[in-house]
Each structure stands twice: as C-alpha cells, then as structure tokens.
Structure 1
Amino acid sequence: MNNNTSLIWNIVLTLAVAVLFFLHFSSKPSAGSVTDGGVVAGRKTVYVQVDSLLLNYDFFKDTKKELENKNFQLENELNQKGRSLQNEVAFFQKKAQTMTPDQARSTEAQLMKKQQDLIAYRDQAAQGLAQEEALKNEELYKNIRTYIEKYNKDNGYEYVLGYSLGGGILFANPDLDVSKKIIEGLNKEYAAKDKPAAADTTSKK
C-alpha cells in the first residue's frame, strides 16, 4: 500500500511554497530611505530555517512518529487480512471440484464479498489517516504561526522569512537566523501543554 502519510514532505512543501511569513506588520511605518537597489533601509527582517525547525520541533517529531506507527499497524493488519483471504481462496480452489455448482457459486460470492469489504476497509482507513494527517498539519502550522506572532510582538520584525535549501531565498545572513530561539520557544510551549495532562493522570492514581 502506498504511504499517504508523508507528513514531513507535506509540511516542507507547504512552508517552502509560502516562502514569506507575513506577520505582525508595524502599524507605524519605519522611517528609512530607499537605496539604489530599491531596498528600504531600516527594515527589520529575520528568518527561520524550515528544515531545522521541523527536525527539532518536538510536536512535529511526536506527530510524525505517531502517524508512522498508525500507518505501520494498518499495513500489518491489511497484510494479515489479505493473507487470510488468499488462504481461503486457495482452499476453495482445491475443494471446488468436490462442491455442487450451487455450493461453488455461493462460496465464490462470499469470497468476492470479503475481497470487496477488505478493499473498502483499506480505502476508509487510508482516508482516515489522511484526514488525521491534514489536521496535524494544520495544527503544526497554527502552532508555528501563533508562536512567531507572539515572539514578534517583543521584537517588532516586519518580515520573518521561511528559509529552506532550494527555496526562493538564495542567500541568508546567519546573523539574522532566529531558528534556535523559535524552536526553543515552541518546544517550551509544547512541553507546557503536556504537563496538565500528566498531572491529571497522576492525581487519579
């Protein structure tokens, strides 16, 4: 079965296509002169390395592992059901000559029904995983955007760019890289979200 839960590539593509995070524009335009190259002096711009963000954000790592495990379990389940059905078909083929025409037709119809049910179950389960992945993607993007907006309130950047190898940005000054700070903040918030649930579980014991 094709793996439709390639979370990391979906997110990388999403963030690479939307190269700019258009966040918190200052309500008061910055005073700056236009240089010969057309760049406005005094603009505050930083960037986040998308690949590094995805590799080090605990929410993403946990979500990726969770979806991979579910996909692995589904594949195993489908393989087991498929082998079981193959065994039934093989047994039917061996015994078909000893059956009456009605018995053969009835057994064949039952096997076809089982095959159709297995295909329908596979498609429904794959669709369910795809929907769950889409929701996780949405939550991931929301978490990142919300935190960057919060982070930006204290810093007043006009642009926070998403930088990735092969993306639209050909060069990025390392001095403008805020990836580490963003990742630390995201992981801190993610860890804080898990604490209440852990506390509730402990209190119930």
Structure 2
Amino acid sequence: MKNASLILNVILTIAVAVLYYLHFKDRQPDAPAVVAKPAEAKGKEIVYVNVDSLLTKYEYFKDTQKVLESKRFQLENELATKGRNLQNKAAFFQQQASQGKLTQEQGRATEVSLQKEQQDILAYRERAAQNLAVEEQNKNKELYDQIYDYLKKVNAQNKYQFVLGYTKGGGILFANPDADQTKVVLDGLNKEYKEKQTKKK
C-alpha cells in the first residue's frame, strides 16, 4: 500500500513537470521592459553654509560676543564687590556683637539690614542676568536677520532653492564640499559689516 502511494506521487510529480515543460517550451522570454530614464531635472541649486565657521569668522558676531563678554565680566566684578562689602559688614557686625558694643536692639536692626542687603544683591543679580540674556537673544536675532537679509539679496535671481546651515553633529549628516558657500557668504557679510562700521565713524 505504501509502495502504491509512493508510485502515485512520483507519477503525479512527473506529470506536473511534463505539463509545465509543454506549457512554457514555445514561449519566448519577454524582452526586458525598457525603463525610460527620466530626464534630469535641472532645478535650482541647494547649497550650504558652515554655521560654525560663520560664527567664528563673521566680524559682527565676534564684536557682539566681545561686548557681551565684557558686560558679563563687569556684572561678575560688580557682584563680587557687593558680596565682599556685605561679608565685611557681616564680619564687622559679628566683631561688634562679640565685644558687646551693640545693644540687643542695634544687633537686631543690623541683622535685618544685612539680610535685606543680601536679598537686594540676589535680586539685582537675577535682574542683571535676565537683562543680559534678553540682550543676547536680541543680538542673536539681529545676527540671524543680517544673514537672512544678505542671502535674500544675493539670491535675488533665485539661483538657490535652499541655503542650508551645516554644523558638525547637526541634522545634515553629509555635505558635499562643492556645495559649500561659506567663504562667499562670509566675505560678503564681512564686507557689508565693514561698510556699515565705516559709515558710523
């Protein structure tokens, strides 16, 4: 019985193979479809500017950073001076109190006065830091506007579709150096900035 089943399976397999052969033997293989290559779309260029280079070599940005650094340094010095003055007053108060040169009422009044001065210094530091942050934000907006306006003016003939900002570790993983317009943009921006500075003088 097993042999009959095996023989039947072999016969069926051979029959299927013969039918398959007969069905496909006269057919010519289809010629591969010729896929028309689309004509290259000669569109507008996409270029990029290296943001790191732009920030380190654009004179406006460097000048702005110097001004902000100077203001930060002044603020730190001012706060350090105020802090030292407060420490000196507190040390003098402790010395006077330990020598019994102050009445209890004078001691409380001096303590309240020193605490208020400390709170004033902290409030001043917070206000000054906020003002500096706002100024930095405004300068960054000016920087962006200057770069945008310059690129818009240079691109008046719609030469570029996009000008991307490239920075290492940013969203663009690879940028072909042939599309790098950093030097051209930098030279133009610095030239314009120099002209503005000359007019101011």
TM-score range, shorter chain: 0.7 to 0.9
Residue equivalent to 1:27: none
**TM-score between both structures, scaled by the size of structure 1:** 0.75
Question: Per the alignment, do residues 34 and 47 of structure 1 end up closer, same or farther by CA in structure 2, a change over 3 Å counting?
Answer: farther
The CA deviation at 1:154 is: 3.8
| Deviates most, 78-87 or 153-162 | 153-162
Residue equivalent to 2:23: none
**Structure 1 residues 96-111: aligned runs within 5 Å:** 96-97=97-98, 98=100, 99-111=102-114
**Structure 1 residues 134-153: aligned runs within 5 Å:** 134-153=137-156
Residue equivalent to 2:198: 195
The CA deviation at 1:116 is: 1.1
Residues 47 and 180 in structure 2, CA contact (< 8 A), matched pair in contact too: yes
> How many pairs were matched up?
162
The CA deviation at 1:45 is: 1.0
The CA deviation at 1:155 is: 5.4
Quick check: 1:84 aligned with 2:90? Answer: no
Residue equivalent to 1:168: 171
- Quote the Cα distance in structure 2 between the aligned partners of 1:79 and 1:112: 17
Say which SS state the counterpart of residue 153 (structure 1) adopts. coil
Quick check: 1:186 aligned with 2:189? Answer: yes
The CA deviation at 1:69 is: 0.9
Residues 48 and 181 in structure 2, CA contact (< 8 A), matched pair in contact too: yes
Residues 54 and 182 in structure 2, CA contact (< 8 A), matched pair in contact too: yes
Say which SS state the counterpart of residue 162 (structure 1) adopts. strand
Which letter maps to 1:92? F
Residue equivalent to 1:45: 46
Question: Per the alignment, do residues 155 and 180 of structure 1 end up closer, same or farther by CA in structure 2, a change over 3 Å counting?
Answer: farther
User: Post-superposition, which runs of at least 4 consecutive aligned residues in structure 1 deviate over 4 A?
Assistant: none
Quick check: 1:130 aligned with 2:170? Answer: no
- Let me know the Cα RMSD of the aligned residues: 1.5
* Deviations 1:45-74, CA, capped at 9 Å, x for gaps: 111011111111000000011101110111
Residues 44 and 159 in structure 2, CA contact (< 8 A), matched pair in contact too: no
Question: Per the alignment, do residues 107 and 156 of structure 1 end up closer, same or farther by CA in structure 2, a change over 3 Å counting?
Answer: same
Say which SS state the counterpart of residue 142 (structure 1) adopts. helix
Residues 147 and 189 in structure 2, CA contact (< 8 A), matched pair in contact too: yes
**Structure 1 residues 50-65: aligned runs within 5 Å:** 50-65=51-66
Identity, % of aligned positions: 56
Say which SS state the counterpart of residue 60 (structure 2) adopts. helix
Which letter maps to 1:42? G
